[in-house]
Structure 1
Amino acid sequence: MAGTMVSFKSNGSTASGYLATSESGKGPGIIVIQEWWGLVDHIKDVCNRFAKAGFTALAPDLYDGKATKSPDDAGKMMMALNIDEAAKKLNSAIEYLSNHEGVSTKKIGVVGFCMGGQLALYAATINTKVGATVDYYGIHPSVNPDFSKLEGPVLGFFGEKDKTTPKEAVEALEEKLKSAGKTYSFTIYPGTSHAFFNDTRPEVYNREAATDTWQKMIAFFKESF
């Protein structure tokens, strides 16, 4: 069952996102945060996969309808993203989802990919309704979460050959979480590159790692809230 585009109030205006409701009728709520490409079909498909697994998932559109396949354009859109505005949209998306009739839990899970991975961590520090966070190779130079405000556990997935989020960046993130006394678990997948979960990009997609992370993520969200 495919999802649909929805609108919700955000900071005195209207934001939009892709919503896929649990095929079982109700389920835990999950916010899915886009890569730097925008709200593309891959992210919508992730929401649909969550719905099949019994969750209700919402992917807010942080670029207001803009999307691209060009790395140069994607980089420009990512750097042009107003982080304060993005935070307001994420907060609004969490509030919208937590009150949706298709959501059965008081807490919300958040997962993000690439740019969205870092924003997922950020969302978890600005809204107490976030009960668990999954970071897929997160990176954004302008996003610096205050981990002292993080309440739920973090699951992180990274690629050994990821030049965008190298081992040093992963270790730095780990140190911040450790220093803040937070619960986390990171896995670095051997031989994988940045965006190894994205099955629309055969040049980087790794089926074995993607399948393993999906199974671990589903179990993590079911156990965490």
Structure 2
Amino acid sequence: WLGGQIWADSERVGITGFCWGGKVVWQAAARFAAFGAGVAWYGRLAPEDGATAGAPWPVDMAGDLKAPVLGLYGENDRGIPVASVEAMREALTREGQTTSEIVLYTGAGHAFHADYRPSYQAEAAADGWSRLLAHFQTHL
């Protein structure tokens, strides 16, 4: 649908999402060539993150990425352990995904970009948004 719109450049489609939407970013970048880049904000990476096992998990799809993904995570996220973030970094490296990267924010927890929640971390949120813009500028 998007490719058929006169106002859209189908060669420059990016995707971003927060929390479960962040997981969807990783999955979409692995499954659909239509996306030129993605930014995942604290999206779950592995079944040990407390979610249902058996679903396709980003850590298992690293080799399938068709677009570079920037992952933005907080070291104090109670739902996504640092071990999962590091496992994803290792999977990206192992699979030669040199244009994808993960940033881990010191002192930040889950939903650090949500300015309407107590979890908001202004510095991490601003840095993440700047990185999102740069990532899309570079890859789209």
Q: TM-score range by the shorter chain?
A: 0.7 to 0.9
SS of equivalent residue, structure 2 residue 27: helix
The offset of 1:105, in angstroms, is 4.5
C-alpha change, 1:163 and 1:197, in structure 2 (3 Å) is same
| Aligned residue identity for 2:5 | H
Aligned partner of 2:44 in structure 1 is 139
SS of equivalent residue, structure 1 residue 176: helix
Aligned partner of 1:219 in structure 2 is 134
C-alpha separation in 2, matches of 1:147 and 1:107: 22
Which deviations, in whole Å up to 9, do the C-alpha atoms of 1:48-97 show, x marking residues without a partner?
Answer: xxxxxxxxxxxxxxxxxxxxxxxxxxxxxxxxxxxxxxxxxxxxxxxx23
Aligned partner of 2:80 in structure 1 is 165
Conserved 8 A contact 2:10-2:34: no
SS of equivalent residue, structure 1 residue 107: coil
Aligned partner of 1:196 in structure 2 is 112
Matched, 1:113 2:29: no
Conserved 8 A contact 1:118-1:143: no
Matched, 1:102 2:7: yes
SS of equivalent residue, structure 1 residue 116: helix
The offset of 1:102, in angstroms, is 2.2
The offset of 1:107, in angstroms, is 3.5
| Aligned residue identity for 1:148 | G
Greater relative CO (CA pairs within 8 A, separation 6+): 2
C-alpha separation in 2, matches of 1:149 and 1:160: 26
Q: Computing the radius of gyration over CA atoms, which structure comes out larger, 1 or 2? A: 1
Conserved 8 A contact 1:98-1:108: no
Matched, 1:178 2:99: no
SS of equivalent residue, structure 1 residue 130: coil
Question: What is the aligned residue count?
Answer: 129
Larger strand percent: 1
Matched, 1:152 2:67: yes
Taking every aligned residue pair, what percent have the same amino acid on both sides? Answer: 36
C-alpha separation in 1, matches of 2:132 and 2:8: 18
Q: TM-score with structure 2 length normalisation?
A: 0.83
C-alpha separation in 2, matches of 1:143 and 1:207: 32
Quote the RMSD (CA, aligned, Å). Answer: 1.6
Conserved 8 A contact 1:154-1:185: yes
Q: Which stretches in structure 2 are left out of the alignment for 5+ residues?
A: 48-54
C-alpha change, 1:197 and 1:143, in structure 2 (3 Å) is farther
